[in-house]
Structure formats: C-alpha cells, structure tokens
Amino acid sequence: MSFSNETDAATAGAEYPLLDRVRIPADLQRLTESELPKLADELRGFLVNTVSRTGGHLAAGLGVVELTIALHRVFDTPHDRFVWDVGHQAYPHKILTGRRDRMHTLRQKGGLSGFPRRAESIYDAFGAGHSSTSISAALGMAAAAKQKGEKRQVVAIIGDGAMGGGMAFEAMNHAGALDLDLLVILNDNDMSISNPVGAFSNYLARLLSGKLYTRVRRGGMNTFGQIPGVGELMGRAEEHMKGMVMPSTLFEELGFNYIGPIDGHDMPTLVRTLRNMKDMQGPRLLHVVTQKGRGYEPAEGDPCVYHGVTPFNPDTGKMEKKKGGATYTQVFGDWLCDAAEKDDRLVAITPAMCEGSGMVRFAKEFPHRFFDVGIAEQHALTFAAGMACEGLKPVVAIYSTFLQRGFDQLAHDISLQNLDVTLAVDRAGLVGQDGATHAGSFDLSYVRILPNMVIMAPADENESRRMLQTAYEYEGPALVRYPRGVGPGALVEDAPSTLPLGKGQWLRRGRRVALLAFGSRLAAALEVGEELDLSVANMRFVKPLDEALVLQLADGHDLLVTIEENAVQGGAGSAVNECLARAHRVVPILNLGLPDRYIGHGSPAEQMRECGLDADGIRRAVTDVIGDTGKAAKTA
C-alpha cells in the first residue's frame, strides 16, 4: 500500500472513492458487503496520510478499521451508543462520523481532539482519555435507557490493556448482576491468542451467537432448569463444550455471554457476528483479535513506536526528530539507573508507562527490580507502600494526570503511614496536543493537602535531577513534579547532588515587585524580571514552603506575584497566601497559574499564552497592577 504525503484531506475524493461516499455512518448502508473490505483499505490509507501530518495515535486506530466499519454498519448511531475506551482507537470512528474534512486539524488548537469528546460530535457518546472507563459508562447508559423506557443498544469497545484495569472488572461484575442489555467488545491486539483465530473459530463464534443456539439454550434452561440436578448438569455441559474451544470461561463467570475469539480483520465474520449479537439480550462480550498497526508496514513492525507518533513521512515511516537536548523524562531515566547502581534497595514501579516514563533502560539493566503493574494506578501506589514497609526504597514513575486515579492510596496507604516512597511525577502542567485529559493541572493542589508529603518543582533539568536525589534520600513520602519535554537548560548554578529541604533561592534582586516562581515558569519570570527590574525567587519547594524567604520578600516589596503551572486554586500560590495570613502580613499578592477551566489541546506555546503564563502574560499581569513605572525606573 502506498500513501502520498501530498494528498489534502479535504480533496481526497479521487484517491478514496468509497470513503468519499461515506460522510456519516448511515451512508454505509448504501455500500454492498463486498465493498466493505475496499473501504477498509481506503480508510486505513486516509488515516496514515492524516496522522503523518498532524502526529497522534496511529497503530491502535489502524488495528480497528474493520471493526469500526462493521460496528457502524450494524448499529444505528448516534441513537445506539458507542463508548470507546481511552480513545486511542477512535480515529477511524471520527472519520466515519462527519469529521473527515477536519482531520487535518487533529490535536491542533481549535481543531479536533485526539480523544472522543462529547462537545465535538453527537457520535461521541462519552469523553475519554484515561483507560478502563468504557464499561462503567456504557453500563450507566444501559441502565438509564431501561429507566427511561428507551430501546437502544449500548456498546463498549475496550482494548486488552485497558481490560487489565480494576475498574473494568468492577463494572463487569456489576453488569452481570444487573442483567442489562450491554455489549462489550474486547479488542485483543496483543496476538497472544492468535492460534484459535481461523475458519473453525469464526464458524463457532457465529454458531454460538446465532438465533438457533440462543433459542435452544434459553428453551432448554426454561424447560429443564427447574428439575433438581438437571439444570446444573446442563450448565456444566454447556460450560465444558465452550471450554473446549474458548480461551477462558472468566467472562461467563461474571455473567456475560462470551463469544469469540474471532478475527477482527475478517469483515464478513465481524458483520454477521455483530448482527447476531445485536439481537441477543443481557450482558454479552465479543472477543476480537486484531493486529495493532495493521496495513502499514512500519507500524506492524513496531506498534509500540507507532502507538503515538510525531509527524512522519508516510512512504518511509521516518518520523521528524525532536529538537533540543535531553527531556525531563530522559533526565529521570538516567538518574534512576545511576541511583540503582549505588543502592540495591531501589525498586522502580510504573502503571503501564515504561516507555513514556523513561524506564526502558532501567527495565533492561535491572529487570528484577522493575515492576510494570499494568493500568492499575491504585495498585501501583499501595504495592509501593508494601515494599516500603519491608525496607525497600520504591520509586513510582507516574504521569500527573494518572496520579489523580490513585489519590486515596497516596493519602491512606503512603502519606498516613509516612512511608518512604519517591514519586516521580511526569507531565506536570500542560501537555500540548494531548489536551485536557492528559494535562497535569491539579497535582500541587491535591497532594499539598496531605500531611507528611514533601513536594518539589524543578526549574530546569539539572535541578530536576538534584530534586529526585533529594526526594530519594528523604525518609518519607516525597514527590518531584516535572513538565513534559525539554526544559530551558541550566538556569541556576550547579551545586551538590541534593538540596536543603524546604529552601528556595532569591535569584535576582529588583524593585517593588517580587516574582515567586515554582518550577517550570522560572525562565519566563527571569525574563520579565530583567526587563522590569523585579526581584525573582526560585521557590523550589511547594511543601515545606520556604516561609522565611516568603516573609523576607513580603517585607521588601510592594507586590508579590506567585507563578506556577498548576491550578491557582489550592496550589503553590495558595500556600504563600496561607503563609502570609498566618504571619499577619498584609501585602498585595497576585496568584498566576492555570485558570479555573480545562485548557484545550494546542501547542505548548499556545497553551501558555492562553493561560497568561508566558513572559508576555506575566509582564501584562504585573504592569496591570503597577503600571509601567517598573520599566521606566530601570531605563532611567
């Protein structure tokens, strides 16, 4: 298959004749069954061309092209509800639901989201970005339909990785008890059960989902189920019959009628099986096996690399190189390996983010000290707590947005017991094109309220490494939060490998106004400080706060300005406000941070500008309060 990088998304009709006829899902009904495989080829080609320009999630979407077409062919959306787990799989769904002409805006400011979003389309029944939520949401929709007396189908499409999240099994356990009409599609793209997939397995799935088998099963149970011993015997016989050809009876035990596995790229089998299952009642699960990256050779060869991509050449698969030096993530990965060399008590834990958190090298060099617990953030934290109880020194690498999912475990299992756990919190603050679902906007606010916690925010990559070492050597729970991507380089002088606990730096002495920067916005603060002749402090610690420095700055300035890449409510600025109130200091203070709304996707620079956290925004905020006198004083 060849893909042209010159094709424009809005004028691709000549290259995609079938796809050009499908503007909304209802248009699929005008195609013949024999045209659907060709449509899948065109959709796959269009997807590669689009994502090659915008970047985004590629391999997962390529794997569900046939499944997406079959679902929209069989079901009546938006009346029927599709709930896509995480959303990595949803690009083909977007293309088939009226958004094809806007796919070139994917993940750009004002453009399409990289995830399902209710405000974007009536076909997006539920917004997603975090995993393992689809079954819960779909079950809620099914329960609501029953309450309202509405007849509709509800389908949750969940990947095998997300199925490992505990929330998915909580929802399935509840679904079995409610006996609502719910269809769960388990998209197994790990190919771990590829052997059963074939003609016989597909035939068996169609047989077990067909009306004859369903009628016989229900009729037999109704007739003989009340006879002592006979109903149990029939149930065992059916279980053993299925067990001979099915990979597991786990889902049956949870109350689901399990069908599969079937080949997720066999369009006729998908359509026929889905039609059969549409007519069935109660909770049912269809297990499909797909190939991640299907139809695009580079993604087939390395689906992990092509899971999330930067813009690339669609003919060769070669991606654009990221500019700049080592990222904060790489700094963490290097520190982790160096620290492990010196201390054999160090163990590293991640909830399914080995690559994203920079732990690939550690996993290779220290395989017996590396624990990927899967998509299970709550378990990751309590697992770390258990290790700390036994004298090990666990380091948990986790994205800020995912740490939210383990707040209770952080509070109850780690903080309350004052356990020696180091948290390396990546993607703190805004994250660019991934948007609000993945932004780390709240960690300072929700972690700062917990007793015993130490919280640090580095201003540059060098300081990040020193803070990680400081957190590791601290005998208690400590957190270092750092942003996505490359930092500003070294802003502060080099120093010993650790930092004095709870001490900031007064970096620049100026007039009238003091800028108190917490973490990533120090470079912008220094730029404004130089221009307007303002004092600038690198606060470093959010908890314990350097209260002595705060009071010193308050006594010598007319205005304090706190700057952080976190929600203003409850964040670092709030800590400064509380400090001043306790000391009965009355001084004007301006808190700059993320506003009280979710920030949409866009480039990092666009997001900072929108929030007023770039140098221009900080300058405007200061001069709005003090006027231009600061700048005039310096130039005089």
The C-alpha angle 469, 472, 478, rounded to 5 degrees, equals: 110
Task: Give the C-alpha separation, 545 to 574, whole Å.
Answer: 11
Contacts of 565 by beta carbon, 8 Å cutoff, 6+ apart = 428, 429, 430, 483, 519, 520, 521, 593, 594, 613
- Check if the beta carbon of residue 307 is closer than 8 Å to that of residue 91: no
Task: Give the C-alpha separation, 398 to 226, whole Å.
Answer: 53
Among 44, 73, 81, 405, the active-site one is 405
Judge whether 405 counts as a catalytic residue.
yes
Judge whether 342 counts as a catalytic residue.
no
Q: How many CB atoms lie within 10 A of CB 541?
A: 23
Long-range contacts, stretch 614-618, CB < 8 angstroms, 24+ apart: 614/524, 615/524, 615/527, 615/528, 617/592, 618/515, 618/521, 618/524, 618/525, 618/528, 618/561, 618/563, 618/592
What is each CA distance from 633 to 453, 532, 623, in whole angstroms?
A: 42, 8, 13
Q: Parallel, antiparallel, or unpaired: how do β-strands 535-538 and 505-508 relate?
A: antiparallel
Instruction: Give the closest residue to 92 by CA, choosing from 25, 30, 158, 169.
Output: 25
The two structure tokens encoding residue 102: 């806007």
Task: Give the C-alpha separation, 132 to 597, whole Å.
Answer: 25
What is each CA distance from 46 to 286, 301, 337, 482, in whole angstroms?
A: 27, 20, 42, 36
Q: How many CB atoms lie within 10 A of CB 182?
A: 25
Task: Give the C-alpha separation, 565 to 441, whole Å.
Answer: 7
Instruction: Give the closest residue to 356 by CA, choosing from 324, 339, 320, 332.
Output: 332
Among 42, 377, 564, 606, the active-site one is 377
The two structure tokens encoding residue 409: 């475990």
Among 73, 99, 292, 540, the active-site one is 292
The two structure tokens encoding residue 574: 């709030």
DSSP string, 497-565: SS--TT--EEEE--SSEEEEEESTTHHHHHHHHHHHT-EEEE--EEETT-HHHHHHHHHT-SEEEEEEE
Alpha-helix residue ranges (DSSP H) falling in 351-499: 360-365, 377-389, 400-403, 407-408, 443-448, 461-473
Q: How many CB atoms lie within 10 A of CB 350?
A: 27
What is each CA distance from 458 to 184, 291, 301, 398, 485, in whole angstroms?
A: 44, 41, 38, 16, 13
Instruction: Give the closest residue to 60 by CA, choosing from 114, 10, 96.
Output: 114
Give me the numbers of helices (H) and strands (E) for the chain, helices first please.
26, 19
The two structure tokens encoding residue 263: 């080949």
Contacts of 398 by beta carbon, 8 Å cutoff, 6+ apart = 350, 351, 353, 357, 377, 380, 406, 423, 424, 425, 426
- Check if the beta carbon of residue 542 is closer than 8 Å to that of residue 509: no
| φ and ψ at residue 373, rounded to 5 degrees | -90, 5
Task: Give the C-alpha separation, 332 to 485, whole Å.
Answer: 12
Judge whether 253 counts as a catalytic residue.
no
Could you list the active site residues? 292, 377, 405
